[in-house]
A and B are shown apart, each in its own frame.
Chain A
Amino acid sequence: MQKYSDRLSYYVMILPGLVLLIAFTFVPLFYSVIAFQKFNPALGIQNSPWVGLENFLYIFRVRDAQQVFFNTVFIAVMKIILLELAAITFALLLNDLRFLRVKRAVQTMVYLPHFLSWVILAGILRTILARNGLLNDFLGLFGIGPVYFLGRPDVFPWVIILSDVWKEFGFEAILYLAALTAIDPTLYEVAELDGANRFQKMWYISVPGILPTIVLVASLSLGNILNAGFDQIFNLYSPIVYSTGDILDTYVYRVGLIQGQYSIGTAVGLLKTVVSLILIGISYWIAGKFANYRIF
């Protein structure tokens, strides 16, 4: 009985998330059928004419879709790689800090941006990245720029990638810090006796120690390869950077909701869901094989 009530509290904690998940992810999934219709909102799902795969064929024909697909994968992959690198490096460095107080203060500061929404951060970024903003003033000291960060198609994706890394790496590092605390301290003591310096300890003990976590996180993030971050890009982009900054989610939003081509928008969204599902399957298989991670 004790055991059961113990578990009950966990179920209750899951409940709100589960309700949201069902309401906003599972229920809309059924409406995906409009991807196979020439959907007329005023007619509704029952009465709109069916067109088979026509919408999907259209997506493969227009040049927008290919560009948007490439942008999404590029931005998402870069985000994943750089974010993990930054988080691992940061965790390793922080782990070596002797002063507990400084360690805690730094850790709190760097994961603070994680809790701010992109609507707010985008406003701040726009000011920082403006022509007479903080960053351009700083670059000006070295005779660079001013750079039109949000208006140059070649620079824009990197603004997106790096600002996201900046926002998230502190939070991501928590995982690795937790993994680092699990390493047996006697290993370090032995290494010290053998005369290993700090970097050798880091390289031969810490890194192998968290390797399973790295593999796990990397393989699980495969499922996110088509999620390049709608909130962030939507709040920062404009027509001039469509060629490199428009991603699947922003495209679906514009085509589906602004231009009213619901079926096309849904077809793109459905395609994304299917590809993501396959990727998640692969990532689960890899995680199980190399990091011994299993849900079921």
Chain B
Amino acid sequence: MSKKWIIKTLWMLVVFSLLLTACGTPATPTATQPPAEPPQPTEAQPQAEAPTSTPEYQWGEWRNTDPYRPYDERITVSVVKGGQESAGTLPAGETIENNRALKYIEDTLNIDVVFKWVVTSDAYLDKLNLAIASQDIPDVMIVDAVQLQQLTEADAIEDLTPYIEKYANKDILENYAQTKGVALQAATINGKIMGIPNVQPQADAPIMAFVRKDWLDKLGLQPPKTVEDIEKIARAFIEQDPDGNGVADTYGLTGTMNPINVPSNLHGFDAFFNAYGAFPELFYRNSEGKIIYGSVQPEVKEALALIARWYKEGIIDPEFATKDGGKSNEIVVSGKAGIMMGPWWIPWWPLVDSVTNDPNADWQPYLIQDKNGQYTFSMGDYTYSFVVVRKGYPHPEVALKILNVQNDLSYGLNNAPQYYPNFNEIWGLLFPIPFLIEQPYVVERMGREYKAALDGTLDPSTFGDAMKLEFEQIKADVAAPRSNPSNWATRMARLDAALLLAQGYNEVRTDPVAARVLANDPNWPSLKKMEEETFLQIMTGARPLDDFDKFVEDWYKSGGQALLDKMNQ
């Protein structure tokens, strides 16, 4: 082997690697994408049964009304979907593209749902943005407020104004009415309803503490009422070895890199801020009727001081600021934590896995009160996403019709079949449009009804099919607690947590005017970034508490004041 040959080879290697580096340099997001195949209508379905004569389904007169009437000829509608990574949780033999719920929707309306693409949850947003950018959108899709605006300006989506009243079923219309028109207002651009707005159950917002009662009892502690109680319990859970394995391996409080995030923040600290009278991330009206920003109010500083002290004393997971929700869920599921902050539905996910691993894990929900003994919580917007229909699609009303049938499946209305005992854990995978238009206060109402049925003051046979099924689960768990994790989760979420909320609480929410301004403000992302990093750094002690004052000053100066002025015009 001559030396020359070696040097030559080495140089080739170097040149090659330089070339690779050059290729790897991301210049701009490429907008070229291979055109996806146009949806092929699958003709002549073998089991395309004649309407009303199928023994399988119990279709009634309602099927001949506008919101449900099947198409004379089978039509095709294309959709897109995230959540591929969870497809394994569906019952055996069922997939995202082929399951009984989807088939019921297709048969009821005589349509074919075609999935243009199915990706993992992580990739979904990027993929959707690319689809919009390459003008290759599906017939029906879910978008956010910014995208709704962009698509409207581009005249790429259908005006749905003529369809809502005619094709939405009465339940959905009633839910819109209960928001006092805010939901449809949020979807209205230049007087036209450009998307079908979602309605978030308001109970999703209050963050409550789920605490392991078995650990409390073991250490002789009382359930928490205040922030101070949480501190005491967390400290005990760390120091007194509640799982009894002789190793100091238990956490006090878990957290994530998004400690404040309204609504539905798993492992979030929002409730502690609320207890101090602070409502960060919300633009709400003060007593004089002017819109102010919650994150720059003096109460926030007090709450930050508390979190920073907790962090310093080791009460909070020392690595919370670099963890995402999944990582912190692992702590809870593996039985290393006894407190989890989250909305009422976390028994379904992830607490159900904790109970599966350890049937003794007796998680119970508690609301945290503020200094005056009141309950006041940051609330999310009623509406934050929209279903839109591609411009030129010949049947724009099909989106509403699908949502009607999905609604029936969710609540067991119109004899919609109830196939899945763990429906609440997998509905997002089953439905072609994973989208909820719920009664704003449905959770509280259902909780009260279940309680009444348990007490014998309400006849459970009046329940719809979905509620009947859930009521069976609740009864089973009341009789033998935690013998079946799915039953336990339904009972804890639907009954215990829902009843806590039904006791009533005060709400603070972002003003609809402010939400509109925010969605189109170029400075907002930059302000948000400044806030996120400042708060996290103060919480972890990387910056002194007094930097909060500087943050407030900077916030007003770098566009915050202008933002508020625009909102208060």
Contacts and interface: CB of A to CB of B under 8 A. Distances in A.
Contacts of A98: none
B31 A240 contact: no
Interface string A141-164: 000001010111110000000000
Contacts of B129: 41, 257, 260
A270 interface: yes
A239 B554 CA distance: 18
Contacts of B22: 21, 25
Contacts of A130: 319
B29 A28 contact: yes
Contact of A58 (B11, B522, B558): B522
Interface stretch (B62-70, B150-158, B509-517): B150-158
B321 A151 contact: yes
A239 B29 contact: no
Contact of A31 (B31, B530, B533): B31
Interface in B299-322: 318-319, 321-322
Q: How large is the interface on A (under 10, 10 to 19, 20 to 34, 35 or more residues)?
A: 35 or more
A273 B27 contact: yes
A239 B533 contact: yes
Contacts of B45: none
A158 to B, nearest CB: 14
B19 A21 contact: yes
Contact of B319 (A151, A178, A262, A264): A151
Interface in B238-292: 257-258
Interface string B62-90: 00000000000000000000000000000
A196 B151 CA distance: 76
Contacts of B25: 25, 227
A63 B533 CA distance: 14
Contacts of A255: 525
A146 B504 CA distance: 44
B542 interface: yes
B6 A151 contact: no
Contacts of B7: 178, 181-182
B537 interface: yes
A253 B523 CA distance: 17
Given A41-B132, A154-B542, A64 B529 contact: yes
B176 to A, nearest CB: 26
A238 B322 CA distance: 6
A238 B321 contact: yes
B540 A151 contact: yes
Interface string A69-104: 000000000000000000000000000000000000
B536 A44 contact: no
B42 interface: no
A41 B25 CA distance: 23
Given A227-B25, A230-B26, A42 B135 contact: yes
Contacts of A243: 533, 537
A191 interface: no
A262 B133 CA distance: 10
Nearest to B152: A42
Contacts of B29: 28, 256-257, 262, 265-266
Contact of A28 (B16, B28, B523, B554): B28
B33 interface: no
B522 A264 contact: yes
Contacts of B533: 239-243
Given A27-B30, A42-B132, A265-B29, A240 B321 contact: yes
A182 B125 CA distance: 53
Contacts of B16: 17
19 contacts: A17-B20, A17-B23, A21-B19, A21-B23, A25-B22, A28-B27, A32-B27, A43-B154, A44-B135, A148-B319, A151-B322, A240-B537, A256-B29, A257-B126, A258-B125, A260-B150, A261-B522, A265-B29, A273-B27
Q: In the A-B complex, list the 8 residue pairs whose CB atoms are closest, starting with the nearest.
A: A42-B154, A41-B133, A240-B536, A43-B154, A240-B321, A42-B156, A242-B533, A17-B19
Interface of A: 14, 17, 20-21, 24-25, 27-29, 31-32, 34, 40-45, 47, 58, 62-64, 130-131, 146, 148, 150-154, 171, 174-175, 178, 181-182, 227, 230, 238-243, 249, 252-253, 255-262, 264-266, 269-270, 273
Given A42-B153, A148-B540, 17 more contacts: A17-B20, A31-B30, A40-B150, A42-B132, A62-B526, A63-B526, A63-B530, A150-B322, A152-B540, A174-B14, A239-B257, A239-B529, A240-B257, A240-B536, A240-B537, A266-B29, A269-B26
